[in-house]
Amino acid sequence: MPRLAFAQSFWDGYDTLEKPIRAGVRKAMAKFQAMSVAELNADKGLHLESVENARDPRMRTIRITDFWRGVVLAPDDGSDTFLLVNVLPHDDAYTWAAKRLYSQNSATRALEVRNAVALDELTPLYETAARTAPRLLFTDVSDGTLRELGIDDQVLRAARSLVDKAQLEAFATLLPEDQLEVLQYLAEGFSPDEVYRDVVAVRRPADAPAEPVEDLATVIANTSARIRLVTGPQELEEILEKPFAAWRVFLHPSQRRVAYRASYGGPVQVTGGPGTGKTVAALHRVKHLLGRSEDSRILLTTYTNALAAGLRDMLGLLLDDDEELLARVDVTTVDSFAHGVVRAGSTGTPPKPLGDREQRQLWEKVVKQLALPFSAQFLAQEYRHVVLGQNLRDLDAYLGASRRGRGTGLGPARRREVWRAVERFEQFLRDRGETTHLRVCARAAGLLADRPAPYTHVVVDEAQDLHPAQWRVLRAAVAPGPDDLFITGDPHQRIYDSRVSLGSLGITTAGRSFRLRVNYRSTEEILAWSARLLAPVDIEALDGEGSDSLAGYRSLLHGHRPQARGYSSRQEETEALVEWVRTLLDKGLAPHEIGVCARFNLSLDAAEEKLKAAGVPVLRVKGQVTQGAEGVRLATMHAMKGLEFRAVCVLGVAEGSVPFTREITPREVDAPQHDADLLRERCLLFVACTRARETLNVSWSGTASPFLAQVS
């Protein structure tokens, strides 16, 4: 019996096919599992036929319905794997198939596809223009180097005709996948060695013979990043029945490498810009760790309860709702976990954690009572960054502590005054039966330190915002050793005021740090626009050592440029929002595929009212997102973390609001804190904008936010 495989190009369109066409696909595919090659060729219903004037002689089409045909790559070398590459209306299927050429990449050994006809047509035009260009894109890379990286004759000629990155992007949909990625990395300025390591080596099979083996079945087996092999009728039924979630199956090689490495010597750090599949990598790591031993117990954490609920659903999907496996994973936030530990270790009612605003009020009371020369804001920050950040328990520890990163110097006399304030603050909390989340974390870390670690592995998503007190809980939840911590995060998305040096907390990732660069969520236009928001600033690395960058960060998707527009009044801006939402709904977007966000809940109230009045269903996202409920999602910028929508409108990006003046410590009070506050607000806008998959609309009334100066 022949074997059957599905290319990613087929899945890209599968979910949008109508029911009868999907049924046709299932019926046709079942035949591939039931008949011999000779029977397939003779089957009248399937009508397997070759494509006239095809660039690839192995191209065939098959009947799906009267009007739809499947495009199949058929082996002609005696091997037995058929590959379904697309399903299209009859005429389109033939045109598409005739232009495509499948080939094996000489370096990665994977199967790639190109639009050979378009490449032949376009290259000479670009070559003519290139003759008079002052500089070509790949001047500095020799033919020999390009060939070692898998570039073949046709692609080499095209590459030599390009003058800049924009032209490379214009070729992107025509070029073979792995070769395109090699060229994109080179165009970003990565050295050939780095490109070999990050693009070729991660794909090339470990046991690849010196000379490529060319039979189609072997080449298909080398292409797990883009092709799914189906082993039996049950698997076929399952994958065609369920909505297809590409992230479950087709990992980018850089994702697969980090998630499925058998074992690491210690903590691992995976960074990458928004939408690069860090959460997906974390989930696959959980799957791998569960499969390694029946004794593994895993803590999977993320930042908010809403995100934890989303992770739980995704994990269920990835593990096919296997109850035994799911029972071995706790998915929660660090705070909830810490509360659980403290609750289990104490009798009586546990103290109630206060929110930021209530804590600020308490600090104000302290300042007033003790008549101190500090502001409540200063004390709250000192307590958070220095006292809790370093887990200082008494005056002596505080007197000797480093206050790196704090702008105002404090001599011993001043420190004594601060400590008096700390003691008074904590006394207030005790008297009122209250606490703070970070104090609960400090307590939980202490309790965990005295007992055997409850987990064999801890996987941390959205790690960039965790406070040292939260890291201490995670450190204590698993014994130091191989595969203890797997950490994913993006320092460009830091939106809370946390500063960490992971090394000083016993979490060293040196030699085990990886970066993801391909964005699966947003179009290149949205990414490039959003990345410019961060261009003027330096971003500290996730582990607190050195800085991070978005070099090489890119998307394979293309679309419209984001719109940024100012209005003369709030009312006009809200009216434009309603119009924008209506246009998207008319285009066929479902309400829940549209996200509207703003810095303040107040701005969302106005938007909600206007949208409702226009008959548009809306749903406020606060904490948990109600599953299944329909409505345009309205969320503050903070609540947008980790979410994504086909279209996003960021409202109210005006001076005074973004950055929010009240949240910015005056420069004269504390210069480093002032800069940190501004950076946090800038990152917040970046997070909001990078939630958009296809459409991004940014608006304001009055004067635009100063952060928009670099992008428009």
Ligand X SMILES: Nc1ncnc2c1ncn2[C@@H]1O[C@H](COP(=O)(O)OP(=O)(O)OP(=O)(O)O)[C@@H](O)[C@H]1O
Burial (CB < 10 A; 0-12, 13-18, 19+), residue 199, is buried
Site for ligand X in 680-709 (CB under 6 A): 690
Residue ranges at the known binding site for ATP: 272-279
**CA–CA distance, 471 with 338 (Å, rounded to integer):** 11
Helix pair angle (334-344, 437-449), 10° resolution: 60
**Contact between 192 and ligand X per CB under 6 A:** no
Residue with tokens 């025509």: 174
- Residue choice 74, 119, 258, 280 for contact with ligand X (CB under 6 A): 280
**Contact between 278 and ligand X per CB under 6 A:** yes
**CA–CA distance, 683 with 673 (Å, rounded to integer):** 15
| Piece of the chain touching ligand X by CB under 6 A; list 34-42, 120-128, 213-221, 273-281 | 273-281
- Residue choice 520, 529, 686, 707 for contact with ligand X (CB under 6 A): 520
**CA–CA distance, 557 with 550 (Å, rounded to integer):** 17
Burial (CB < 10 A; 0-12, 13-18, 19+), residue 663, is middle
| Piece of the chain touching ligand X by CB under 6 A; list 68-76, 250-258, 284-292, 624-632 | 250-258
**Contact between 673 and ligand X per CB under 6 A:** no
Q: Where in 572-624 does DSSP place strands (E)? A: 594-598, 618-620
For the bound state, the minimum distance from the C-beta of residue 571 to ligand X, rounded and expressed in Å, comes to 32
For the bound state, the minimum distance from the C-beta of residue 255 to ligand X, rounded and expressed in Å, comes to 6
Q: Is 411 helix (H, G, I), strand (E, B) or coil?
A: coil
For the bound state, the minimum distance from the C-beta of residue 414 to ligand X, rounded and expressed in Å, comes to 40
What is the total count of residues that contact ligand X (CB under 6 A)?
21
- Residue choice 247, 383, 398, 455 for contact with ligand X (CB under 6 A): 247
**Contact between 268 and ligand X per CB under 6 A:** no
| Piece of the chain touching ligand X by CB under 6 A; list 24-32, 35-43, 251-259, 646-654 | 251-259
The Cβ of residue 98 has, within 10 Å, a number of other Cβ atoms equal to 17
For the bound state, the minimum distance from the C-beta of residue 254 to ligand X, rounded and expressed in Å, comes to 10
- Residue choice 96, 190, 250, 686 for contact with ligand X (CB under 6 A): 250
For the bound state, the minimum distance from the C-beta of residue 222 to ligand X, rounded and expressed in Å, comes to 17
Site for ligand X in 114-133 (CB under 6 A): none
**Contact between 464 and ligand X per CB under 6 A:** no
Nearer Cβ to ligand X (250/419): 250
**Contact between 276 and ligand X per CB under 6 A:** yes
Nearer Cβ to ligand X (160/515): 515
**Contact between 272 and ligand X per CB under 6 A:** yes
Secondary structure letter of residue 504 according to DSSP: G
**Contact between 439 and ligand X per CB under 6 A:** no
What are the CA-CA distances from residue 675 to residues 147, 392, 524, 678, 706 (Å)? 47, 25, 29, 5, 14
Q: Which two tokens stand for residue 572?
A: 């006009």
Which residue type sits at 305?
Answer: N
- Residue choice 642, 645, 696, 699 for contact with ligand X (CB under 6 A): 642
| Residues in a beta bridge with 460 | 301, 487
Phi-psi domain of 261 (left: phi exceeds 0; alpha: psi -120 through 50; beta: other): beta
Secondary structure letter of residue 223 according to DSSP: -
Q: Give the strand pairing for 3-7 and 227-230.
A: antiparallel
For the bound state, the minimum distance from the C-beta of residue 151 to ligand X, rounded and expressed in Å, comes to 24
| Piece of the chain touching ligand X by CB under 6 A; list 243-251, 316-324, 380-388, 440-448 | 243-251
**CA–CA distance, 75 with 171 (Å, rounded to integer):** 28
**CA–CA distance, 488 with 650 (Å, rounded to integer):** 26
Site for ligand X in 474-493 (CB under 6 A): 490, 493
- Residue choice 251, 258, 444, 527 for contact with ligand X (CB under 6 A): 251
Nearer Cβ to ligand X (246/395): 246
| Piece of the chain touching ligand X by CB under 6 A; list 105-113, 149-157, 249-257, 317-325 | 249-257
* Contact criterion met (CB below 8 Å) for 246 and 17: no
Nearer Cβ to ligand X (276/509): 276
Going residue by residue from 643 to 662, which x/- string records binding to ligand X, judged by CB under 6 A?
A: -x------------------
| Residues in a beta bridge with 102 | 113
* Sign (positive or negative) of CA dihedral 64, 69, 70, 76: positive
| Piece of the chain touching ligand X by CB under 6 A; list 189-197, 275-283, 383-391, 400-408 | 275-283
For the bound state, the minimum distance from the C-beta of residue 82 to ligand X, rounded and expressed in Å, comes to 23
For the bound state, the minimum distance from the C-beta of residue 698 to ligand X, rounded and expressed in Å, comes to 17
DSSP codes joined into one string, 37-99: HHHHHH-TTT--EE-TT-SSTTEEEEESSSSEEEEEE---SS--EEEEEEEEEHHHHHHHHHH
| Piece of the chain touching ligand X by CB under 6 A; list 59-67, 121-129, 212-220, 267-275 | 267-275
Could you tell me how far CA 693 lies from the centroid of its own chain? 12
For the bound state, the minimum distance from the C-beta of residue 460 to ligand X, rounded and expressed in Å, comes to 12
Nearer Cβ to ligand X (251/704): 251
- Residue choice 123, 154, 184, 255 for contact with ligand X (CB under 6 A): 255
**Contact between 277 and ligand X per CB under 6 A:** yes
**CA–CA distance, 259 with 282 (Å, rounded to integer):** 7
Secondary-structure percent of the chain, ordered helix, strand, coil, rounded to 5: 45, 15, 35
For the bound state, the minimum distance from the C-beta of residue 639 to ligand X, rounded and expressed in Å, comes to 13
- Binding interface with ligand X (CB under 6 A): 246-247, 250-252, 255, 272, 274-280, 490, 493, 520-521, 642, 644, 690
